[in-house]
Amino acid sequence: MTSTGTIGTRVLGAATLVALAITAVMALVVSPPDVVQGDAVRLLYLHVPTAWVAMYLSFGITTLASALYLWRRTRSRFWDLVAGASAEIGVVFIGLTLVVGSIWGRATWGVWWTWDARLTATAVLFVLYAGYLALRRVPADPQVRGQRAAIAALAAFVDVPIVHYAVEWWRTLHQSATFLDEKRLTDPTIHGSMAWTLVVGVVAFTLLYAWLLAHRFRVGWLADRLEDEGLERALAERRAEAELEEV
């Protein structure tokens, strides 16, 4: 067996490792503790990049790849596999976002969970795409499954803005302000090393996403080929057996 890695993915992997190491050093050592939150603020450097990878990058690429799969001129297994691989990474990262956010919430607000608009929307998004992954795992003809998965991805995508507005209204029509002051956390006026750490973190996790996507895609592609070749081999063996019997 030969390795299926290429120079490109190895360089990407090395760059990801370096970027993650820099993020860790900047997040844990260089950046100062927050005036209000203390060291708990360091979770920000994990929370924001995972959320970025999950919600914008992964699901964005899943949607794009699904649309390209459905469009007749660009239809190929390639886009189906990309959509599936990207959604899988997205679900893992959105799970991480929820877990890290929950730990952070416990540390700063004293509760694991609050029915804040953004949290609720994220949780709905998590199950929405978990359902999409479940559909992809159903045993069926790859063509049928690819077509249905692509349509399901688009159907889930059009739901995202509706979910967003629904939960936003739900929480704001009833109570004017939650005790979660998100403005302060995402305020663009955070300065210096904190902002830089965040930027480096986002870059590092974007690289990690690209590396994971390349490998997940490759695994999917190999699994596909294995299935095809297994079938052909079985056919050839049966044929050989039949020939032997004839002789």
Partner 1 sequence: MWRDAGLVAGKDLRIELRSRVATNQVAPFAVLVLILFAFALDPDRGVLARAAAGLFWLAVLFSALLAIQRAFAIEAADGGRDGLRLSGLDPAGIFLGKAGAVAAELAVLEALLAVGIVVLYDVSLHGAVLLVATCLAATVGLAAAGTVYGMLAAGLRVRETLLPLLLLPVVAPVLLGATRASEAALGLGTDSGWPWVQLLAVFAVVYVGFGVVAFGPLLEES
Q: How far is the CB of 77 from partner 1 (least distance, A)?
A: 15
Site for partner 1 in 116-145 (CB under 8 A): 124, 127-128, 130-132, 134-135, 138-140, 143-144
Contacts 24+ apart (CB under 8 A), 226-229: none
Angle of the 77-108 helix axis to the 44-51 helix axis, nearest 10? 150
State both tokens at 53.
Answer: 């990878």
Count of residues near partner 1 by CB under 8 A: 32
Q: How far is the CB of 152 from partner 1 (least distance, A)?
A: 5
Site for partner 1 in 173-202 (CB under 8 A): 173-174
The Cα–Cα gap between 51 and 215 comes to 21
Q: How far is the CB of 105 from partner 1 (least distance, A)?
A: 21
- Centre a 10 Å sphere on the Cβ of residue 120 and count the other Cβ atoms it contains: 19
State both tokens at 131.
Answer: 């359902």
Which of 166, 180, 185, 214 contacts partner 1 by CB under 8 A? Answer: 166
Q: How far is the CB of 165 from partner 1 (least distance, A)?
A: 7
- Would the CA dihedral through 97, 99, 100, 106 be positive or negative? positive
x/- letters, 34..73, toward partner 1 (CB under 8 A)? ------------------------------------x---
Q: How far is the CB of 123 from partner 1 (least distance, A)?
A: 9
How far is CA 19 from its chain centroid? 19
238, amino acid identity: R
State both tokens at 106.
Answer: 């416990």
Contact residues: partner 1, CB under 8 A? 70, 124, 127-128, 130-132, 134-135, 138-140, 143-144, 147-148, 151-152, 154-156, 158-159, 162-163, 165-167, 169-170, 173-174
